[in-house]
Amino acid sequence: MEYRGLTLDPFQQQAIEHVDADRSVLVSAPTGTGKTLIADYIVEKALTENKEVIYTAPIKALSNQKYRDYTRLYGYDKVGLITGDNVINRDAPLRIMTTEILRNMLLSGEELPHLSHVIIDEIHFLDDIERGTVWEEVLIYLPSRVKILGLSATLANIQEFSDWLSYVRSEEVPVVIEDTRHVPLSIYMANRDAGICDFDRYKYLHARWHTLAKKAKAEAEKRKAREGGGGGRRRRGRGRGGGKLMLPGQKETRHFDLIKMLGAEFQPILYFAFSRKMCEQFSRELGRKSPDEGFTTEEEKALIKARVDQFDYEFEKVMTSDQEAMYLKGIACHHAGLHVGLKAFVEDLYERKLIKVLYCTSTFALGINMPARTTCFQALRKYNGHSVVPLTVRQFMQKAGRAGRRGIDHVGYVVILEEFWDFERDGDAIAAYISGDHEKVRSAFNLSFNSVVNLLDRHNGDLDQIRDIIDKSFLTFSHRQAAKAAERRLEAIAEKLASDGWDPRKEDAGTPPRQLMSRAKKYRKLTRRRRKEDDKVWSDFNEKVSLLQGIGYLDEELEFNAGAKVLRHLQIEEIFSTELVLSGILDDHEPALIFGAVCAMSNSFSRAVSIRVRPRGLQGKLSKAMRQIRYGEAVRNSEYAIGQQVTFTPEMISFGVSWFEGKSLQEMLLSIDSATDISGDLVSAFRRAKDLCQQLKRVYEEDPYMSEKLKTILKTVSRDEVEVVD
């Protein structure tokens, strides 16, 4: 079978056959194997048949890229983009949107009579702690007549996921699995002393190094003792290596060492670093340390120069001379905080094969179709919001899978920069990456207060209907599957107890004999736990309803008071935001200060960050008023209910005002002392604050005075790094 002149792979053909048979289907395959071609087939089929299709993506950058791709294919009239930042052609037959937007449309009861398919890219995001609930709600609320194409990375429990979907949608949802990559991956380790080698060779070299390093350390300690007891108290963690086990004269491997080791035959290279500052710094360093000609030919330099000139005409004074010099050498960086124009510029050069080394963050791996010959990892551990942990197998493979271009490369190279002294910490994780033991997708379903009031609103307070929805969650499904397993285990324990003379299933069982007491206690404990798990999600819903009644948002009959009416529209710091609206303290402030207030609810700094500005004057008064709300009964009760700390950072008021007034990130960073780059944190905070302003605009849509101020905010703050619509 062929499509668009391409011979389809068996898994693509199988999936398309399910589509033609009007079935929903889950497709699980490694990164880069061609899952999106199935989505393209559905889009073309729907448009040909005068039907509608929605394409959802987990991040705005991917939504923007799909919008560009499909407008090139079908023109602007047939394609729309809805991301919260912007709405383009909302009534188009093909609409690309974030999953949150679709969820909100379904919750509001929007009619979608001509919708034939919803394509859910990266459907495994269902287990994302912060956003996974949205994926479940979409899959539950979507009418069964609308068919789903779920695209996923490899999942260990894809069949369990399919079983749940089949249950929720009252239709069989088949699974199509592809395990083989067209371009196989070869995973290597590298450092200055080992060079580039495979895992087994690296383990041998590490063992040899470890023996020598321990011997050198022991000899150094003996020498210090002979010289006078080590010179007093030892200072830990100081000097080269921070106290790590190292050989004398051994140096850390730098990113440019690795690029030099790889050479031109491994280009283009995607080099993954886990901070925006690192991407910026590395690209500049490689630009300085690379030969004068860089990695590009004279012909390629001429093409890049022409594109630079075009960019300078469109975006005056955005690109610096240092950046231009770097691009001419075929070097660039890409991250979410980059100026929107530069981001599109870099993507364009990369697609034209003019960028040879691209330093990037994780966002670049998430669905954006820009493969390379080689992917490099600066590190394998990342901050997950709570602690620094190893990448999961799925996260690693999503990035590593960008290596190997179909039809161009016979193999994709994955190179991990791994110092010998870190291997004992990272070895098990690396072994898991190589073996490809993918994790299971787990439900992260957590009914937010916004979800609770919208469920009550949509179903007119009918608790039976709402219970039906909640019982359809993947979390409840998983609990019940576990309960069935627990039931079988309980039955086995009961049978054994009965055979030993005491049957706990009988009403008149009485007290168990002393010799069976410990086993009887275990049986009762498991029984109580199973009963509790059965209704866990429903109990959570009822607890949140009770809280909303306790703070006066709902009355005893579940009718909406002012708080619930406001809360319907707010999804960021829900109760804090609602209380802020109800207090009226924003109403008399100018747009700059309103944006500052919402910024204070959008970001928190680590203790290692020192801020040299404090809110004063009007900002100080606003901060004091917000603090009273933050520590008021309603917000504290909600904080306890969700088990998560409410965000309130008064210092962000000043930064929000500064951004509204046109100051640059560089100017703001002068007020901050931090060992790490936090420019990305500021950009994320401003974007999150912008999203909250969009939600507030819906709250105030019947108040022209406040509505106009919020429109001004949304227009003014959408600039430079905060603007994400290309």
* Of residues 51, 93, 103, the one with CA closest to residue 71: 93
Count of C-beta atoms within a 10 Å radius of residue 495: 12
Which secondary-structure segment (H or E) carries 485? helix 474-499
Q: Who contacts 201 (Cβ-Cβ below 8 Å, separation ≥6)?
A: 194
Grouping H, G, I as helix, E, B as strand and the rest as coil, residue 149 is: strand
Grouping H, G, I as helix, E, B as strand and the rest as coil, residue 673 is: strand
In this structure, of 245-254, 261-270, 386-395, 624-633, the range with the lowest mean pLDDT score is 386-395
Given the DSSP bridges, would you call strands 94-98 and 52-57 parallel, antiparallel or unpaired?
parallel
- 188 Ramachandran zone, left/alpha/beta (phi>0; psi -120 to 50): beta
pLDDT digits (tens, 9 = 90+) for 265-312: 999 999 999 788 889 999 999 999 998 899 999 999 999 999 999 999
Q: Is residue 324 scored above 70 in pLDDT?
A: yes
* Burial category of 641 from C-beta neighbours within 10 Å (exposed 0-12, middle 13-18, buried 19 and up): middle
pLDDT digits (tens, 9 = 90+) for 590-628: 999 999 999 999 988 777 778 888 888 999 999 999 999
Q: Is residue 390 scored above 80 in pLDDT?
A: yes
Q: How confident is the model at residue 677 (pLDDT cuts 50, 70, 90)?
A: low
Q: Is residue 363 scored above 80 in pLDDT?
A: no
* Burial category of 677 from C-beta neighbours within 10 Å (exposed 0-12, middle 13-18, buried 19 and up): middle
Grouping H, G, I as helix, E, B as strand and the rest as coil, residue 506 is: coil
Q: How confident is the model at residue 567 (pLDDT cuts 50, 70, 90)?
A: very high
Q: Is residue 493 scored above 60 in pLDDT?
A: yes
Q: Is residue 515 scored above 60 in pLDDT?
A: yes
* Burial category of 240 from C-beta neighbours within 10 Å (exposed 0-12, middle 13-18, buried 19 and up): exposed
What pLDDT score does 383 carry?
67
For tokens 């089929």, what's the residue? 45
Q: What share of the chain has pLDDT > 90, as a percent?
A: 54
Q: And the tokens for 505? A: 């299933």
Check if the beta carbon of residue 67 is closer than 8 Å to that of residue 84: no
* Burial category of 419 from C-beta neighbours within 10 Å (exposed 0-12, middle 13-18, buried 19 and up): buried
Check if the beta carbon of residue 386 is closer than 8 Å to that of residue 142: no
* Burial category of 264 from C-beta neighbours within 10 Å (exposed 0-12, middle 13-18, buried 19 and up): exposed
C-alpha span between 256 and 234 (Å, rounded): 34
Question: If you count them, how many residues does the chain have?
Answer: 726
Distance of CA 726 to the CA centre of its chain: 20
Q: Is residue 552 scored above 80 in pLDDT?
A: yes
Q: How confident is the model at residue 458 (pLDDT cuts 50, 70, 90)?
A: confident
Q: Is residue 481 scored above 90 in pLDDT?
A: no
CA distances from 720 to 22, 339, 340, 341, 659 (A): 44, 5, 6, 8, 10
Q: Please give the residue that has the higher pLDDT: either 410 or 241.
A: 410
Q: Is residue 449 scored above 90 in pLDDT?
A: yes
Q: Please give the residue that has the higher pLDDT: either 73 or 238.
A: 73
| DSSP character string of 578-613 | HHHHHHTTTTTS-HHHHHHHHHTTS----TT-EE--
| DSSP character string of 193-254 | TTEEE-HHHHHHHHHHHHHHHHHHHHHHHHHHHHTTTTSSSPPTT-SGGGG----TT--PPP
C-alpha span between 168 and 202 (Å, rounded): 48
Q: Is residue 354 scored above 70 in pLDDT?
A: yes
Backbone angles phi, psi at 336, to 5 degrees: -65, -20
In this structure, of 88-97, 153-162, 197-206, 701-710, the range with the lowest mean pLDDT score is 153-162
Q: And the tokens for 245? A: 């086990």
Distance of CA 253 to the CA centre of its chain: 29
Q: Is residue 119 scored above 70 in pLDDT?
A: yes
pLDDT digits (tens, 9 = 90+) for 19-59: 999 999 999 988 778 888 999 999 999 999 999 999 998 87
Q: How confident is the model at residue 365 (pLDDT cuts 50, 70, 90)?
A: low
Q: Who contacts 247 (Cβ-Cβ below 8 Å, separation ≥6)?
A: 209, 212, 213, 216
